[in-house]
Amino acid sequence: MSIRFQALDEQKVERILDAAKEILEGCGCNVMHPRALKLFRDAGATIEGDRAKIPRKLVERCIESAPKGFWIYDRNGNRAMHLSGKNSYYGTSTASPKTRDPFTGAIRETRIGDIELGARVADALSNIDYVMPMGTAQDVPAAAEELYEFRAVVTNTTKPVVFIGYTPDGVRAVHGMAAAVAGGEEQLHKRPFAISYPEPISPLVFPGDVVEKMLVAAELGMPQVPGSTVQPGTTAPVTLAGAVSQLVAEGLVSLSIVQLANPGAPCFLSGNLNIFDMDTTLMSIAAPEMSLGIAAQAEVARALGLPTWGLAGSTDSKLLDAQAGIESTFSILTQGLAGLNMIHDVGYIDMAMVCSPEMLVLGDEVIGMTRRLLKGIDVNDDTLATATIKAIGPGGNYLKSKHTLANYRSELWFPSLLTRKHANRWLKEGASDMGERIRTKIAEIAASHAVPALPATVIERLDETITSHQRRHVR
């Protein structure tokens, strides 16, 4: 593929990777987990208190044992995403305390119904490839939060799921639920469709429960995408080169923990970079440097052959306005051009505080445009169409040509929501703006998009798991 955006050249990738290893060797990281510290010590790291200084050799061995790309399947066991090279897949936003209700426009606390609807909308959108729970539901018992969320998602989409386990036991329980859906642990292991998302703390802190979540997933062989978040100027150097090296270093620690616990367990070299706004003193989720920095991080990961992670389709705007359109397009396009493997967070508004199905649908349209661009231009005898040009000649019309009929569907992209109607017809049909068309689409999906039901026995298993988990963990 020829149409690409590259944040770093080979030399810069080398320097950043070298700096990341230097950070781990010279500064090290805090790993607040005795067993993980022991794993590091036994593998040759220097341990003082919680601090682990990790030699290059150790990191390199862990990179070596990590799988270079892998397949993620859908709920039915079909291949869905090949996480390798520059294959890009887009997924939803997640975990926000609030939701923008697509039917009333109100911004209110997230409910489990919002997570169900988010998953169903995502299921219906052809450019959304995987689903995260769109919010943290405030109306279910906190003790089994992630279990309720997983149930809400998996019963409303067949697409792969990325979930946030709030506790190590929660990760274990969700793994059990995923196995029930897949038809057994072995099936799930062979065709994983659920990915865990643990979040270490920048700069360079690995809290005990986060590490434990990583170890649980590693030992279960469940794929994971560790995501610390650096905010240049606050939790990392303000210069992007420094912030990206630190982010790579943090990713390498997570990868090493996973590899030391279970060599060969699937894991991304991943992380998030968000811009802290020095004016408002709050965090943006849509800055240009965010896409630039995340692309750079991913390029380092890709140079090592490891799967990569992105963050796009979010806005700092509080509603679906021109700003939302600009910020969605900018990040989806640049990160698609950069070829990041799993790009999440399509659907955030208000600096990640609010998930919005409308923003998700908007993003779906932008991804459609982006994918058309990425497809590029095929140049061969048939697409050059010299013979057709000769046949039609000067002053002719290509509309009736067989060549047009044979090629227009694959060559041209058809918007589903952008309007290209004549102004008169648009007026007659209600003069809708993009937001109204998006809401109509959501209403249609809510009313008629059917997701195949899981067998009753599986649902029973899911509910049993939730009930017993809740009983054991009264929070």
Partner 1 sequence: MNKGRYFEEISDAIVNLEEGRAVELAERAITGDMDVLEVIEKGFGTAINKIGKLWETGEYFLPELMLGGTIVQRAMDVLLPRLKAQGKAATFGKVLVATIEGDIHSIGKNIVATMLSANGFEVVDLGVDVPVERIIAQAIEQDVDAIGVSALLTTTMPGQKALVEAMVTKGVRDKFKVFLGGAAVNAEWVKHCGADGYAENAIDAVKLIKEALRGSSKGGK
Window contacting ligand B12 (CB under 6 A); options: 4-12, 153-161, 345-353, 407-415: 345-353
Q: Which is nearer to ligand B12, 156 or 228 (CB)?
A: 228
- Tell me the pairing of strands 229-230 and 205-206: unpaired
Tell me the two tokens of residue 353: 């505080």
**Which residues neighbour 318 within 8 Å (Cβ) at sequence distance 6 or greater?**
107, 349, 350, 354
Helical axes 112-124 vs 357-375, angle rounded to 10° = 20
Taking residue 385's Cβ as centre, other Cβ atoms within 10 Å add up to: 17
- Shortest Å distance, C-beta 277 to partner 1: 8
- When asked if residue 353 is in the footprint of partner 1 (CB under 8 A), the reply is yes
In angstroms, rounded to a whole number, what is the distance separating the alpha carbons of residues 163 and 146?
7
353 binds ligand B12 (CB under 6 A): yes
Please work out, in degrees rounded to the nearest 5, the angle formed at the alpha carbon of residue 376 by the alpha carbons of 374 and 382: 150
Instruction: For residue 42, give the amino acid letter.
Output: D
- Least distance from ligand B12 to the Cβ atom of residue 91, Å: 13
The closest alpha carbon to 216, from 35, 25, 22, belongs to 35
Q: Please report whether residue 242 would count as binding partner 1 according to CB under 8 A.
A: no
113 is a site residue for partner 1 (CB under 8 A): no
Question: Hunting for tokens 């769109």 — which residue is that?
Answer: 134
Which of 30, 88, 127, 136 forms a contact with ligand B12 (CB under 6 A)?
136
Cα–Cα distance for residue pair 33/339, rounded to 1 Å: 35
Taking alpha carbons only, the member of 363, 345, 307 closest to residue 125 is: 363
Stretch that binds ligand B12, among 71-79, 245-253, 349-357, 434-442 (CB under 6 A): 349-357
Which position among 114, 116, 123, 145 is part of the footprint of partner 1 (CB under 8 A)?
A: 145
Determine which residue in the list 19, 201, 369, 459 makes contact with ligand B12, applying CB under 6 A: 201
Reported as half-sphere exposure (CB side, CA atoms, 13 A), residue 50 has a value of 11
Q: For the chain, what is the largest distance between any 2 Cα atoms, rounded to a whole number of angstroms?
A: 81
Cβ closer to partner 1: 13 or 140? Answer: 140
Q: In terms of CB distance, is 320 or 454 closer to ligand B12?
A: 320
> What is the token pair recorded at 187?
């099936």
Q: Which x/- pattern, by CB under 8 A, does the window 197-236 give for partner 1?
A: ----x-----x-----------------------x-xxx-
Radius of gyration for the chain, computed over Cα atoms and rounded to the nearest angstrom: 23
Please tell me whether residue 97 binds ligand B12 under the rule CB under 6 A: yes
Q: Which is nearer to ligand B12, 282 or 391 (CB)?
A: 282
What is the nearest approach in angstroms of partner 1 to the Cβ of residue 138?
A: 6
Tell me which residues touch ligand B12 (CB under 6 A). 94-97, 136, 164, 166, 197, 199, 201, 228-229, 281-283, 351-353
Tell me which residues touch partner 1 (CB under 8 A). 97-98, 109, 136, 138, 142, 145, 201, 207, 231, 233-235, 276, 278-283, 351, 353
